[in-house]
A and B are shown apart, each in its own frame.
Chain A
């Protein structure tokens, strides 16, 4: 098997990876918020994304709605779904050993994934849309509009979230609760409500990501499986609770995926991603950025 490394190939991979990385970052930011604030490792995070994508897909496919306008639905919908699931399932076990919480989210992941599988079958679906057919050419690199908008949308989403965390009362409450639950309570912050909101926002982030992705990514029940794991890799890489870290981590993983796919045969790029993951967990579990920045 010959591997031809050419500049156009690598350049394409680089650009694609950057755009993909932006979206990864957005997905991961929801997770890092939840993980950083509550210490909950939410294994069902990818499935929330999957739900968002199905919602966006059906809206766009059945009503002909512009995929990007589905954002108006997916974001609030995922916020509510996330908050609802948190209230019903996770809040009751917050006082239990961490492993129990983790296993609960594993169960949730299985339920969501397989319920969707049973209802909609495994056939991947995608919508035909003008966005992924419009491309720009910069030298040898082809940039589909959908991917570019995905990157832009993600960056906007991250910026909004960052602004929210820095400058609003609720945002500050979330940051306070993430750093020290007891101190936050003493300061009059309703920690339970803060957790609820944080979980909702984290889920809303993937709602946004879902809408941004359907123009160029397929929809299937198993989509959350891999992307959820990618989110974990990004969060661990960037540091739990670290918004900037998630952005950088997202880019790193996006690049590793595409450049890895360009250089390595088959789906070995996936193995590369997991290798990075394991290495970081072993040697620098607090992430590349030392301080948490939520």
Chain B
């Protein structure tokens, strides 16, 4: 079976990569535009993380949520509200936010999958939920309504997850991204991971083999929602300003799934590869078209999504997997003469 990041040499490679990345801010601080580059890398890591979270439900379990922004928003709003109203540090708030998102994810997942929603119908419900969240929060003045919420800047306060400069945020998201990948690599080898794939490939057959499709899909949704919720807290802290359409809208939702698709669904590194390639390109494009905003990068993402669906639906790692599969085979027998092999 395939080699995993958690095994022997590969883990050492991963650890080395991690180590190198921890030194990155030091390197970048020497460069004139170092801060800007660090910002881009933070974005890459953030979306790699969010996309990896999505991948568990979307890539492994095969349920394509088009509205994960729902959990991002819940995470962002819960921790921010707790911070603004109760002065609770986001370090604690994030876990509450994650739990809230997980709870919502459990509810949504259970109801949707209990009633057999699949494919396009499931996607539609997730979109509707995210949109409904936009309108709901817009109407609740207590959480800022349409104006949103600003995370009050109190200066460099690490205990409140606020940092001068970008380095502090970088380390947080680096750890989150690394852990998400390790987790995915871990479940890739485990029963849960195989059950996710089984449910994706053929949930009826899985049922017949002792796999509870409802439970598995719901669990995947909960985990995905939880992780995304945590990401929401980071999002709020890093950008310091959130409003309904920013977090619940289709922008994040689509980006999250886009990177996983481009990189390769159901693979450990796929979402990260997708984020690594696209985020810098989108940021660069946005910088070039000065005065323009989300429009330019979403346009790019849309175009890429179309091209990928037309020409490379399995994503980059999917193609790599296919190629290595072809080279890995020892050659197929031309006919399968069972009687010849049975010795009978």
* A interface residues (Cβ-Cβ under 8 A, vs B): 41, 89, 92-93, 96, 98-104, 106-115, 117-118, 225, 229, 232-233, 236, 265-268, 270-271, 274-275, 277-278, 281-283, 285
Contacts and interface: CB of A to CB of B under 8 A. Distances in A.
B51 to A, nearest CB: 14
A89 B306 contact: yes
Contact of B261 (A103, A225, A236): A103
B295 A104 contact: no
Contact of B289 (A104, A107, A118): A118
Interface stretch (B85-93, B128-136, B189-197, B225-233): B128-136
A282 B306 CA distance: 29
B139 interface: yes
Contacts of A89: 306, 310
Given A100-B309, A106-B254, A281-B125, A118 B296 contact: yes
A71 B132 CA distance: 33
Nearest to B136: A271
B117 A267 contact: no
A90 B127 CA distance: 22
Contact of B129 (A92, A101, A111, A278): A278
A282 B302 contact: no
Contacts of A282: 111-112, 115, 117, 125
B64 A99 contact: yes
Nearest to A270: B135
14 contacts: A41-B123, A96-B313, A99-B120, A103-B309, A107-B309, A111-B302, A114-B295, A114-B299, A114-B302, A117-B299, A229-B127, A232-B124, A281-B125, A281-B128
Interface size class of B (residues with CB under 8 A): 35 or more
A176 B117 CA distance: 27
A267 B139 contact: yes
B302 A110 contact: yes
Contact of A111 (B128, B299, B309): B299
Interface in B168-202: none
B66 to A, nearest CB: 7
A180 B112 CA distance: 28
Contacts of A112: 302
A277 B128 contact: yes
Contacts of B298: 110, 113-114
Contact of B299 (A110, A225, A271): A110
Interface string B282-315: 0000000100101110110111111001100100
Question: Interface on chain B toward A: helix, strand, loop, or mixed SS?
Answer: helix
Nearest to A285: B121
A236 to B, nearest CB: 7
A277 B66 CA distance: 16
Contacts of B136: 268, 271
Nearest to A39: B120
Given A104-B306, A118-B296, A41 B124 contact: yes
A278 B125 contact: yes
B139 A111 contact: no
A92 B310 CA distance: 7
A93 B309 contact: yes
Contacts of A108: 302, 306
B57 to A, nearest CB: 13
Nearest to B302: A110
Given A103-B261, A114-B299, A118-B296, 5 more contacts: A103-B309, A114-B295, A114-B296, A229-B128, A270-B132
Of listed A106, A113, A267, residue having the most chain B CB within 10 A: A106
B167 interface: no
Nearest to B120: A41
A281 B111 CA distance: 11
A267 B134 CA distance: 10
Interface string B31-61: 0000000000000000000000000000000
A101 to B, nearest CB: 8
Contacts of B254: 106, 110
Contacts of B124: 41, 232, 236, 277, 281
B121 A281 contact: yes
B136 to A, nearest CB: 6
B305 A107 contact: yes
A219 B294 CA distance: 20
A39 B310 CA distance: 18
Contact of A274 (B121, B129, B313): B129
Nearest to A103: B309
Nearest to B311: A92
A268 B135 contact: yes
Contact of A98 (B112, B119, B131, B289): B119
> 9 tightest A-B contacts by CB?
A110-B302, A107-B305, A114-B299, A107-B306, A111-B302, A266-B139, A274-B132, A117-B295, A104-B309
A111 B254 CA distance: 12
A236 B119 CA distance: 15
